[in-house]
């Protein structure tokens, strides 16, 4: 297995209702300051999103999402030489974000919009993250079922989508895969995907993992009622496990903690340190 250098993707939610940090960085000034902090902490990619995809969330209009996301991306690009990702399911938002300097599209709908192909064909510098999601945010956590097993079903769906893009001329290294922890999955589904994450390695380009502060981390604890901030240790544990299983992009809220954990892990692995 080819070992890829780990990249930390910092979450920048320009939303009033995201599950962990909704409203904290809703203004352009607050978002820019948050970007500055994550860059100081060593972030490799900033992932800017304007529509919450937490369980139970309502959709946001195209214009509202554009008004939230595009000014922030424009400002960050003018201020900092950092790789920018746009977290969106909307072709129009991604197209405008690319004009402003974004080079990664993070699509929680897993490439269901066929127009992504033309966008990637026209912009050879752009990567696309294909994430698996079952259902929509409003209802996806209402008793999700996987008749063939979650690992098999997630891999089959992502592999089929990769083939569609590859047949259209998009190289595999430009397609990154995310199993979609917490997106239409219960606790055991999430754990199974983590246990078998290596089955996605080699299907396309990088494997992305995002467990940061998600509710299943509290469900693993005895009382199950820990605060969102108290899920950070679980975030680090699951991401380090994923790193061992071949993931190389880690989408997190706490960039500094993730960078320090990866440095420590790599030092243990490197017998020449």
**Active-site residue flag, 251:** yes
Residue 271 Ramachandran class (φ > 0 left, ψ -120 to 50 alpha, else beta): alpha
Give the full edge-to-edge strand order of the sheet including 175-178. Answer: 175-178, 127-131, 104-107, 83-87, 45-49, 7-13, 249-252, 208-209
From 174, 214, 231, 259, the catalytic residue: 214
Give the helix, strand, coil percentages of the chain, each rounded to 5. Answer: 45, 15, 45
DSSP 251: E
What string of DSSP letters covers 179-245?
A: --TTSS--HHHHHHHHHTGGGGTTTSSPBEE--TT-HHHHHTSSSS---GGGGHHHHHHHHHHHHHT
Annotated catalytic residue: which of 133, 161, 185, 251?
251
Catalytic residue at 34? no
Q: Which helix (H) or strand (E) holds 131?
A: strand 127-131
Provide the annotated active-site residues: 214, 251
């Amino acid at each position: 297995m080819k070992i890829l250098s780990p990249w930390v993707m910092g979450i920048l939610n320009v939303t009033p209702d995201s599950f962990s940090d909704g409203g904290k960085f809703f203004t352009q000034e607050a978002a820019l300051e948050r970007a500055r902090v994550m860059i100081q902490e060593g972030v490799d990619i900033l992932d800017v999103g304007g529509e919450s995809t937490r369980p139970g969330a309502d959709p946001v209009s195209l214009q509202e999402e554009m008004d939230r996301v595009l000014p922030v991306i424009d400002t960050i690009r003018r201020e900092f030489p950092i790789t920018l990702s746009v977290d969106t399911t909307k072709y129009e938002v991604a197209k405008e974000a690319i004009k402003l300097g974004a080079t990664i599209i993070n699509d929680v709908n897993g490439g269901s919009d066929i127009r992504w192909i033309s966008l990637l064909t026209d912009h050879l510098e752009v990567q696309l993250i294909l994430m698996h999601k079952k259902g929509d945010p409003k209802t996806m956590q209402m008793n999700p079922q996987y008749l063939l097993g979650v690992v098999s079903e997630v891999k089959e769906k992502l592999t089929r989508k990769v083939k569609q893009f590859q047949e259209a001329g998009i190289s595999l290294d430009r397609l990154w895969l995310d199993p979609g922890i917490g997106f239409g999955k219960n606790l055991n589904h999430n754990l199974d995907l983590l246990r078998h994450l290596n089955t996605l390695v080699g299907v396309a380009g990088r494997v992305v993992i995002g467990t940061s502060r998600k509710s299943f981390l509290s469900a693993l604890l005895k009382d199950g009622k820990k605060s969102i901030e108290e899920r950070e240790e679980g975030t680090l544990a699951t991401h380090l496990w994923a790193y061992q299983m071949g993931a190389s992009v880690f989408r997190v809220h706490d960039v500094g903690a993730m960078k320090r954990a990866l440095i420590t892990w790599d030092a243990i692995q490197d017998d020449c340190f």
